[in-house]
Every structure is written in structure tokens, then in C-alpha cells.
Chains A and B, each alone.
Chain A
Amino acid sequence: MTTIDPARAEHDTERQPGPPPRRSTATRGTRIIGIGAIVALGWLIAFGLGFSPADRDQLESVRILYVHVPTIWLAYLAFIVTAVSSAMYLFSKKKSLGWDRAAGASAEIGVTFVAVTLAVGAMWGRLTWGVFWQWDARLTTTALLFVTYIGYLAVRRLGGSHEQRAKRSAVLGMIAVVEIPLVHFSVKMWRSLHQQATVANLDGDTKMDGLMLFSLFVGVIAFTLLYVWLMLHRTRAMAMEDLLEERGLDDALVARRAEAAATTLPPTSTTTSTTTTGSDS
């Protein structure tokens, strides 16, 4: 193995073989959170579908909102986490890849939640407005948010070393922080007349019945727990993937060095070159 120069120790820190690999990404923490999420979702179903009353105007279709609103809130949270993690990666001295993994995992979850929001919202729209889609400010911005982060995920898959991926994604994550408000603002200007019966009115609208508010609250808790659970599992899975690549590097190093040793046997032997199986760079 290479001799480790103490002056480069911090440079090599992440290259040291870590603790023995775990068999799964679950821990006591994730089990507790997972159970909490399931319980909360159970409550959500009970209250959302059962205990809370039907809305005066929307009747039963209001129940969709107990899923629709929390998912978009969580998506916003997820993208904020992505932005913060990106900033932490770029501006911290140590540049730990954990920040990059958090940013990527959070973006993945965020995109999924936005997709759910749009799908569920379309169902709600069909029931209440009679149409799946409307070009109002909020919907349009949400759709653009979705596409923007799809682009972010595409850039994450461009390849290269972990550091390259991390830097590129972090910069893009910061760009999104500027991009999204600009897009949102311009779309709002574009549609400066709001419709009355939009989702916007229902966020914390105190005209809502107490039980309905409570159901919404339960929904937020349930999806937050779900988000945390997904984040923990996904970041750990990413860490294990990265670790696998690192170990692959150590094995590949050994193989490549053996290759060199094999080909420096007595120069008269011309058959040694046939044993090299390393891929051409």
C-alpha cells in the first residue's frame, strides 16, 4: 500500500478503509422513525378519510388535500435541504462528501414528492374545477420546479470522480436557489390575477374546520417522518455505493500493480505481456 505522508493525511482521510461494511442501511433510529411514519400515516388515513368532515363546497374531494398539501411542503423542505447542503459542501473547509450525498438524496426525494403533488393535485383539480390543469402561478411554478430539479438529477449522473460530481452538483444546487425565485416571481407577474378557489387559500386558512386543520397537520407530520426515513436510507445507501467504489479502487490498484510486476520479468520473455488484462485507459 502507499506510504501515508502525515502532511497529506487529511487529503487521504476518506480513502482509508472504514469500518467493516454493514449489511443493510437500517438502524435502530430508522426503525423507530419508520414505525412512527407508519403510525402517522395510519392516523392520516383515519382522520383524513374518516373523522374529518367533508368540506362545504368541495365535499369529499377535500380529503385529497391532506396528502397534496403536505407533499408540496415537504418538497420545498427537501429542496431547501439540497440548497443548504450544496452550500455547505462548497463553502466548508473539509468538503465532506456527506453533504453532497445529502443534497442528492434530498433532491431525489423532493422530485418524487413534487411528482406526487402534481399527480394528486390533478385529481383534485378534476374533481373540484373540472380540469386536470390550470395555468395559474402556483401550478406553473411547481411544474417548472419539477423540471428544474430533473435537470439537477441529470447533471448528477454525468459521471467523473465523486469530487467532480459533488462540485458540479453543488454549484448547480446554488444556481437553483437563484433560478427558482426568479421563475416564481416572473410567473406571478404573468398571472397576477389569482383565481379564488386555488390551493393557496387552503394553506393555514383559518376558515378551515378544526378537525380538517388537524388532519392536515397529521399529514405534514406523517410525510415529514417519511422524508426523514427516506433520507437516512438513501444517504446511507449512497455512502455504501461510494464505499464500494473505493474498495473497488483498492482492489484495482493491487491488480494494476501486479500487472506491472508481471511485465517486468526478464526482458527476454515475450509472453508475459499476454497476462495483462487491465482495461485500456
Chain B
Amino acid sequence: MNTVAVARLIAAKDLRVERRSKIVTNQVLPFAGITMVSFAFALDKQNVLDTVAPGLVWLATMFSLLIIVQRTFAIEADDGALDAMRVAGVDPRAIFIGKALALGVQLLVLEAMLFGAAVIFYGESIPSEHVFASVVLLVTTMLSATCGLAAVGTLYGGLAAGFKGSETLLPLLTLPAVVPVLIGATKAVESAVGTSGAVVSEGWQWVGLLTVFAVAAVVGGALAFGPLIDD
């Protein structure tokens, strides 16, 4: 069994567990929604909301990421399955890629929902002059940002999973590390929806940043995950 096949197996298993338990759909997505609503309470002016909406979407994504990561490792901790995978000598790289893949899929669903919420609650819209270009930019942004977030989340989630007090360690490690994604994704989306006069073409440099980050995170994570979760 090669690494990729085992990774797919693990990703499928994770998604199957989520399909059965529906924790992310029933709890995390509503949490993200409530976060968006809370932002509206805190930033009461419509013009302010307009300007910062892209940033708020990614901010809500970051916070939800922390929760989904804890969930993805909680299913392993429930009955000692991650331990069992380590005992069984399953290739840690496969575990990393598999879990990151499943995490990424769930993140994409989350982001789509958050964009929808932004359209509804914050009145965001795509300028009609260049819908296609904007949509392409948006989708690319989502994909590249999600890769980076999933990789970093899985890496630090695995590290923190084994220890007491890990619920606070995870945010401490993850949030500084994903600053590039927060910056890049926000700017790219601002370009896509034309916030503050940003133009679509400006967005692609940020996608470049996101892609570099994603590559570094996936490669670095795959290498580091094994030693980090090992005894």
C-alpha cells in the first residue's frame, strides 16, 4: 500500500465519520454563522461592514478552523485510534495528507457557506462588469488558502492532540502561522469584489503568496508531522 493510497483511505474514513456524526455541519457551521452575526453587532455601520467583509469572512474561517482541527483529532482520541495508527506503523505522511485532505474539504464547505452569509448579511456582491474574472479569482483564492490552512491545522493539531491544555496551545501555534493566509486571502477577495476600488488583476499577486504558502505548508507539514506526533 503506497502512501497516497493510504492517505486517500484515511481521508475517506474521516469524511465518512463526519457524514455519520454531522458534528461539523450541525455545530461548526452554525458557529461560523453566529460569528458573522456577532461581527455585525460589533461593527454596527453598514459602510464599515462593506469594507471589512472579506476580512471578516476569513477571520471567521480562522476561528472555525481551530474548532474543526480539534474535532478531527478528537475522533482519533475517542477510542485511541491515532495511537493505534502509530502503533500499527501507518506512514505518518499518509496520516498527515489524509487528514489534511479531509480537513480541507470541510473547510471549503465552510468557506462557501461564509461567502453566502457575507452576501446575505453584509450585502457583498460581485461587480457585474467582470463576473467571470472575479469568480475565477475567488475560487482560486479559496483553493489555495484552504490548502495552506488545512496543512498548518493538521500539523499543529496533531502536535497538540496528545497533551493536556492543548486546546489553548493549538490557537497559539496556528494563528501566527496562518497570518500570510489571512492577509493574502483577504486582499485577494477584496480585489475580486471590488472593495475600496481594488481591481481584479491586483488579486493575483496575493494568490501567488497563498500558493507559495500552501506548497511550503504541505511539504513542511508532511515532513514534520511524523517526528512531531511520535514518541
Q: Which residues of A contact B (CB under 8 A)?
A: 90, 144, 147-148, 150-151, 154-155, 158-160, 164, 167-168, 171-172, 174-175, 178-179, 182-183, 185-187, 189-190
Determine if A186 and B224 form an interchain contact, defined as CB atoms under 8 angstroms apart: no
Contact (Cβ within 8 A) B183 A186: yes
Residues of chain B lying within 8 A (CB to CB) of residue A144: 176, 179
20 contacts between A and B (CB under 8 A): A90-B227, A147-B172, A150-B172, A154-B173, A158-B169, A159-B163, A167-B230, A168-B159, A171-B224, A175-B224, A179-B177, A182-B216, A183-B176, A183-B179, A183-B180, A186-B183, A187-B179, A187-B183, A189-B183, A189-B184
- Not counting A185-B209, A190-B183, a sample of 10 additional A-B residue pairs whose C-beta atoms are within 8 angstroms of each other reads A90-B227, A154-B169, A158-B169, A159-B163, A171-B224, A182-B213, A186-B180, A186-B183, A189-B183, A189-B205
State the CA gap A69–B220 with chains docked (Å). Answer: 32
B143 nearest CB across to chain A (Å):
18
B5 interface hit (Cβ, 8 Å): no
Once the chains are docked, how many angstroms separate the CA of A144 from the CA of B173? 11
When the two chains form their complex, are residues A189 and B209 in contact, meaning their CB atoms are under 8 A apart?
yes
- The answer to whether B159 touches A155 (Cβ under 8 A) is yes
In the bound complex, CA of A189 to CA of B208 (Å): 12
Q: Which residues of B contact A (CB under 8 A)?
A: 155, 159, 163, 169, 172-173, 175-177, 179-180, 183-184, 187, 205-206, 209, 212-213, 216, 220, 224, 227-228, 230-231
| Cβ-defined contact, B227 with A167, below 8 A | yes
Taking the closest CB of chain B, its distance from the CB of A196, in whole angstroms, is: 23
The DSSP consensus for interface residues of chain B is helix
**Chain B residues with CB below 8 A from A159, complex form:** 163
Q: Which 10 A-B pairs have the closest CB atoms?
A: A186-B180, A151-B173, A147-B176, A171-B227, A148-B176, A151-B172, A190-B183, A186-B183, A171-B224, A144-B176
Nearest CB of B to A219, in Å: 29
Could you tell me the distance in whole angstroms from the C-beta of A106 to the nearest C-beta in chain B?
Answer: 19
Interface centre among B163, B169, B172, B176 (most CB of A within 10 A): B176
Q: Which residues of A contact B169 (CB under 8 A)?
A: 151, 154-155, 158
